Amino acid sequence: MCGIVGCHHVPDAKAFKPEALKMVRKVRHRGPDWSGTYLANRTSMSSSAEESLLLAHERLSIVGVESGAQPITNKDESIALAVNGEIYNHRVIRKGLKTSYHFKTHSDCEVIIPLYMQYGIDAPKHLDGMFSFILYDKTQDRVIAARDPIGVVSFYQGWSSKLPGAVFFASELKCLHDVCDKIISFPPGHVYDSKTDKTTRYYDPTWWDPANVPTTPVDYKLLRETFEKSVRKRLMAEVPYGVLLSGGLDSSLVAAIAQRETLRLKAAALKQVENGESNAQVDEDHGEGLVGIDDDNKLSTLTYLPQLNSFSIGLPNAPDTKAALEVAKFLGTKHHNMTFEIEDGLNALSDVIYHLESFDVTTIRASTPMFLLARKIKAMGVKMVLSGEGSDEIFGGYLYFHAAPSKEAFHEECVRRVKHLHLWDCLRANKSTSAWGLEARVPFLDKEFLEVAMNIDPADKLITKDRIEKYILRKAFDTSDEPGAQPYLPDHILYRQKEQFSDGVGYGWIDALKDNAELHVTDEMMKNPKPEWGSDIPDTKEAYWYRTMFDEHFPPQCADTVVRWLPTWSNQTDPSGRAIAIHNQKYDEKK
């Protein structure tokens, strides 16, 4: 991840630059490797006053490590670009440009400039990746800003009543609230054009309208192959990487595929050396790779690790920790398990809320262990991890989906959840890790994979007495009926019941949060919420406690960007999967 800030049509850029540098400094945790700025002044046509553009960038270097400093400009410096993210199809784009372009760097993100020169505002349609970017066309005094289709990468837009006509963009809320009195979460899959001052949707997949209920039966082979491809492309890196392994189905599948690919890459590198195709030496103990995956699934230069690193976290004897250790042993990953104490999590809560920029209960519960783990991972020198977010939304994996009244309702809820991932799970994955300069990539939210998975007849996804949640995903990776095939996972892991991350790290974690909320929030406080909260009143003491901590960090205009997560088809106020009756039933059966 990186941190970006953009300010357009502000007063003289030279005068505003100190303020812009203060803004971007607040996201230096996202990009600790380098800082850069781009400044342009332009005399307004309607007056003698100068209007200006300023881009600021805090870099986390993962691809094009030695030459990818930002903001990036084209040859004559008439176009400038600040990007946060990864473009997985950058090699294909480079090869397919209709006119030649002088690339200054090896950064995957630089392709956005020639794409804009070729397609204008339609450039984001051609990107496969996770990103937010701000592009400035000096010739037209035009700003283009866009966010990836699902909103994996955080991005905000703001306006100031003191600076009418100015518009601001930033990776995080904390950059904007001192300057802007109106802030929104920039909508995923959209592009803003200063020429029209409009934000329009560029991402328009076939499954977007929930009323169009798909009828395509599940193709297990296609589902498996598309997801494997999604994981492979996300191994694009020139730095050490790993996988977050909770021991649940989603992260375990990601780890299984990543491990297969790591072993394949290592074998290919050794073969290159043995055949005299490379002068490099392969250090089997420490890595230093020769090969990797390009966009055509062919080998190309990449750094690999001799063993895939996997990481898990939990309270002592947590359900997920035991499963993660078993999966890691089965796969042969180099596993790192972190045990945290409840006091560690409680002490981190205020920092977690500051980085998350949310007061949503389930997001905070799950983010705190992830936040603690990310710090340990970065301290080990790892800069990128794969994570399993998105699967539960795509396949109806949350336990409340047992109560779906029909396949139509099931599909509508899946679409709604995927569309809002940027408010919850993507926000958690992005900000909990980037707080420590670590990047999380999410294979389940790949555009091609979504096109396949979201167009499956929801009748195949329904949870029945014979089918556990996410049955078709499990079945796609079940090799028991394939003679001689190596299993991806042990059967009891492949068919393990869903544990939400905040539950799986140890049931004592949520209990402790509720108990501490009782100590901080009185009944009288619950009866007298703050007037500035309006109609958005916390309905539990835990929610009230988080909201007060949020208010310590952020002014009222920031609260409008937060949406609370609650299950559908349920009257419960607690979002924990443990609060769903089916969890207790299955848990009791196991005992």
Bind-site residues for ATP: 244, 313, 387-388
CB-based contact 21:37 (threshold 8 Å) = yes
Q: Which of 137, 154, 138, 134 is nearest to 146 (CA)?
A: 134
Residue ranges for the known binding site for L-glutamine are 108
Alpha-carbon distance of 237 to 246, in angstroms, equals 23
Alpha-carbon distance of 271 to 285, in angstroms, equals 17
Q: Which of 146, 142, 145 is nearest to 195 (CA)?
A: 142
Instruction: Give the strand pairing for 50-59 and 3-10.
Output: antiparallel
Alpha-carbon distance of 572 to 435, in angstroms, equals 32
Alpha-carbon distance of 270 to 281, in angstroms, equals 9
Strands across the sheet with 79-87, in order? 72-73, 79-87, 129-137, 142-147, 190-193, 198-201
Q: What angle do CA 256, 258, 264 make, to 5 degrees?
A: 105
Instruction: Give the strand pairing for 241-244 and 198-201.
Output: unpaired
Q: Active site residue: 2, 7, 109, 414, which one?
A: 2
Q: Which tokens go with 58?
A: 């805090």
Beta strands in 341-450 (DSSP E): 384-386, 439-441
Largest CA distance in the chain: 78
Angle of helix 361-379 relative to helix 541-553, nearest 10 degrees, comes to 60
Enumerate residues 6+ apart whose C-beta is below 8 A from 462: 396, 404, 407, 410
Residue found under tokens 């890595």: 287
User: In the 8-state DSSP scheme, what is residue 430?
Assistant: H
Residue ranges for the known binding site are 108, 244, 313, 387-388
DSSP string, 432-474: HHHTTT-EEE-GGG-HHHHHHHTTB-GGGT--BTTB-TTHHHH
Alpha-carbon distance of 333 to 305, in angstroms, equals 11
Alpha helix stretches (DSSP H) within 420-575:
425-434, 447-453, 471-476, 491-494, 501-504, 507-520, 523-527, 541-553
Residue found under tokens 């004592």: 508
Instruction: Give the strand pairing for 384-386 and 241-244.
Output: parallel
Q: How far is CA 430 from CA 6, 24, 142, 175, in A?
A: 20, 17, 29, 16
Alpha-carbon distance of 372 to 338, in angstroms, equals 9
Q: Is 558 a catalytic residue?
A: no
Q: What share of the chain is helix, strand, coil (3-state, %, to 5)?
A: 40, 20, 40
CA 391 centroid distance within chain? 13
Q: How many residues does the chain have?
A: 591
Q: Which residues are catalytic?
A: 2
